[in-house]
Structure 1
Amino acid sequence: MSKLDLEENEATMSSLKPEKVAEMYDATGELGLYLIFDNQLHFGYWDKNNPNASLSEAADRLTQIMIDKSEIRPGERFCDLGCGVGIPAIQIAKAKECFVDGITISKYQYDRARELAEEAAMSDRVRFIQSNALAIPCDDATYDGGWFLETIYHMGHREALREASRILKPGATLLIADFITGPNTAEEFKTFAKEQLHSDHLPKEDYPGLLDEAGFDLIEIDDVTESMMPFMVPKVKAGFKQYETEILQYVQREAIDGWLQVFESVCENLGYILVKAKKRVRS
């Protein structure tokens, strides 16, 4: 990454406002999306093993892929940086028998996550904190592992990676699921994403330098665009149709059309990667 690129990214990150992200996820209109994703508010993963999966089933599949990539051990502490309503945090705590702190800036997500953890009888192992993920209320080197599951683009990549490096122990694994720009990403979409979705997206090629700068060694980058983007819009449409009656209790039909346009634009303009890195152990 060039010096000019770094300076442009710094300017972009400073324009991302945490309070706008909180407002977006607190908005009652977002409740319809929680329904169609079955509380896993991230994209789905499809391949030959689950070509006919529903949106919620494919979202669950992506969570499981992330869990499988993690190296957290029983009894260790894991941080979910941007936890939504907490389903992935609960799932990794169950699968790995670890303790999880989920960080969200949204009051709605924080309250709902606590409810879901209690319903799952996991409140003793999964804790939720309403906080800016760029200023987590914990000591340095607190966690044995962590992830940004479709959240880092709301924070600014450099700043988010710096905070992840601060809170993770040397040798800890960091996982990232992120949208990426490519040669077909329109400038109009980048502006829309920043202004309306409070998101900043980078090309895959920027990741090695950003990770190295933050003190991480890159293990792998998997481009999984073809297992995700071609499927999303048809599955989202099916989800809205399935839950139409419930969603229309919260929003007007025009809002559903607007959501579909956003998903179409995202899938046309962005790719998707899964990143695995380790915090460097300094000699």
Structure 2
Amino acid sequence: MTSQSAAPATAGQMSDYYSAMGALLQMAWGDNFHFGYWDGPSDTATIDEATDRFTDMLTERLRVGPGDRVLDLGCGVGKPALRIAARTGASVVGVTINARHVELATERARAEGRADQVSFRHADAMDLPFEDGSFDAVLAFESIIHMDRPTVLREVERVLVPGGRLALTDLTPLTDESNTPKSFRSLMGASPGDESPSGQGGDPDIATLISAGAWPGLLSDASLTLDELNDVTEHTQGTFIRLFENFFKYRREFEREHGITVEQVLDSAKSGAPTDGVGCLVVAAHKP
């Protein structure tokens, strides 16, 4: 059996975390809360172009069309879900633990005239409010790092129809080949006496990173069949330099609007984060 020993933060803690981080990401990065994909150092694609390109790559792996239903786990403010709907004709349901993001995503769907095709719900991906076999495909764009992978994969298997597909991106430590999850913590929203997975008091873990080698076992344990496991780190590395440049480009505007400094938000994300870098995986699977 493959296990994930480090426990992620609670849904409430993650909602609080993204209330601040989500606002900063929107200002500095746009409405796609995920890595960009560049073909190489000479690729001059903008952030919007590179993040939309990555959305399109995951969409191709879903293999959906008109009449199909797609579930977007950790949908952010809705941009990928709406792009999938527009490009494929499928209907999409997005879920997020942040109620404000549900509101923003719903407003976007109405503004784009797709409220009948795309909807958003306040829900926990590890305890989905949907019946068995409700969806033809499931997308998880960098959201699974905040979840207990075995739990959410079992939920994915449950809500997929037979033959249904899963496409996701996951983050991985660059130099750790073990299958033991690495966790890092948030300094935000922690209360005295909060327990870490090791049983020590402290700040909640906001994410866990695992090696690529853990994925075949994780999927097998969830009764899902692995179709693709692809390390795309060389194409996503341009994310970090652009992201941090923009964090500080927009810092004064952000601090005026939100009453919190950029440093405070970034400190919440980097406590205990791997110092040797983070890679990116594309994983595709299906339910037999």
- TM bin, normalised by shorter chain, reads 0.7 to 0.9
Query: 1:158 is aligned with what amino acid?
Result: P
Q: Which runs of 5+ in 1 are unaligned?
A: none
SS in 1 for 2:215: helix
- Is the Cα–Cα contact under 8 Å of residues 36 and 56 in structure 1 kept in the other structure? no
2:118 corresponds in structure 1 to: 126
Query: 2:285 is aligned with what amino acid?
Result: A
- In the TM superposition, residue 173 of structure 1 has moved relative to its aligned partner by 0.8
- Is the Cα–Cα contact under 8 Å of residues 181 and 204 in structure 1 kept in the other structure? no
Q: Determine if the alignment matches structure 1 residue 40 to structure 2 residue 32.
A: yes
Candidates 97, 102, 117, aligned match of 2:94: 102
- In the TM superposition, residue 75 of structure 1 has moved relative to its aligned partner by 1.4
Candidates 37, 50, 55, aligned match of 1:58: 50
Candidates 251, 255, 265, aligned match of 2:264: 255
Identity %: 28
1:234 corresponds in structure 2 to: 241
SS in 2 for 1:123: coil
CA distance in 2, matches of 1:60, 1:247: 24
CA distance in 2, matches of 1:253, 1:269: 21
2:192 corresponds in structure 1 to: none
CA distance in 1, matches of 2:24, 2:17: 13
2:287 corresponds in structure 1 to: 279
- In the TM superposition, residue 248 of structure 1 has moved relative to its aligned partner by 2.7
1:79 corresponds in structure 2 to: 71
1:180 corresponds in structure 2 to: 172
- In the TM superposition, residue 190 of structure 1 has moved relative to its aligned partner by 3.1
Q: CA RMSD in A?
A: 2.8
Q: Which runs of 5+ in 2 are unaligned?
A: 187-195, 197-202
- Is the Cα–Cα contact under 8 Å of residues 179 and 270 in structure 1 kept in the other structure? yes
Query: 2:81 is aligned with what amino acid?
Result: A
Q: Determine if the alignment matches structure 1 residue 114 to structure 2 residue 106.
A: yes
CA distance in 2, matches of 1:179, 1:245: 30
Q: In structure 2, do the counterparts of structure 1 residues 96 and 196 end up closer, same or farther at CA, with 3 Å as the change threshold?
A: same
Q: In structure 2, do the counterparts of structure 1 residues 142 and 51 end up closer, same or farther at CA, with 3 Å as the change threshold?
A: same
Q: Which moved more, 1:34-43 or 1:169-178?
A: 34-43
Paired residues for 1:207-218 under 5 Å: 207-218=215-226
CA distance in 2, matches of 1:267, 1:103: 31
CA distance in 2, matches of 1:115, 1:239: 26
- In the TM superposition, residue 257 of structure 1 has moved relative to its aligned partner by 6.1
- Is the Cα–Cα contact under 8 Å of residues 183 and 206 in structure 2 kept in the other structure? no
1:163 corresponds in structure 2 to: 155
